[in-house]
Amino acid sequence: MMAKVFSSALYGVEGYIVEVEVDVSSGLPDLQIVGLPNKAVREAKERVRSALKNCGFEYPVRRVTVNLAPAYRRKEGPHFDLPIALGILLATGQVPGGALEGKVVVGELSLDGIIRPVCGVLPMAATVKKEGFEAFVVPGPNGPEAAAVGEFKIECFDSLVKLVRWLRSPEDNEGLAPRVHRGSRPGLLSRGKRGDLALDYSDIKGQSVAKRALEVAAAGGHNVLLVGPPGSGKTMLAKRIPTILPPLTHHEALEVTVVHSVAGLLPPGQGLMQTRPFRAPHHTVSVAAMTGGGTEPRPGEISLAHRGVLYLDEFPEYRRETLEVLRGPLEDGQVTISRVRETVSYPACFTLVASMNPCPCGWSGDPERACRCSVDDLRRYQRKLSGPLLDRIDIHVEVPRVPYSDLDSPVVSETSAEIRARVVAARKIQADRYADTGFEANAELNRRLLSRFCRPGPSGRALLRAAFSELKLSMRAHDRILKVARTIADLAESPGITEEHVAEAIQYRSLDRRMEW
Specify the CATH number for the domain of residue 376.
3.40.50.300
40 is a domain residue? yes
Q: 91 with 67, same domain?
A: yes
Report the pLDDT value the prediction gives residue 513, as an integer from 0 to 100.
56
DSSP state, 156? E
Going by C-alpha positions, the residue among 83, 67, 66, 70 that lies closest to residue 16 is 70
Q: How many CB atoms lie within 10 A of CB 312?
A: 26
The range of the structural domain enclosing residue 155 comes to 2-181
Report the pLDDT value the prediction gives residue 512, as an integer from 0 to 100.
67
Alpha-carbon dihedral sign for residues 148, 149, 155, 159: negative
pLDDT in tens, 178-191: 444 444 433 333 34
**For residues 242 and 247, what is the distance between their CA atoms, to the nearest angstrom?**
10
333 is a domain residue? yes
Q: Using H for helix, E for strand and C for coil, what is the string for 171-228?
A: CCCCCCCCEEECCCCCCCCCCCHHHHHHCCHHHCCCCHHHHHHHHHHHHHCCCEEEEC
Q: 161 with 203, same domain?
A: no
Q: Which of 411, 443, 475 is the last residue of a domain?
A: 443
Q: Which of 153, 181, 209 is the last residue of a domain?
A: 181
pLDDT in tens, 443-482: 999 888 998 999 999 999 999 999 999 888 889 999 999 9
62 is a domain residue? yes
Cα angle for residues 83, 88, 89 (degrees, 5° grid)? 95
Query: Which positions of the chain have pLDDT values less than 70?
Result: 172-197, 512-517
Q: 202 with 317, same domain?
A: yes
377 is a domain residue? yes
Q: What is the pTM of this model?
A: 0.87
Q: Which of 443, 464, 482 is the last residue of a domain?
A: 443
Q: Tell me, what CATH number does 127's domain have?
A: 3.30.230.10
Report the pLDDT value the prediction gives residue 174, as an integer from 0 to 100.
42
329 is a domain residue? yes
Q: 209 with 351, same domain?
A: yes
DSSP reduced 3-state for 91? helix
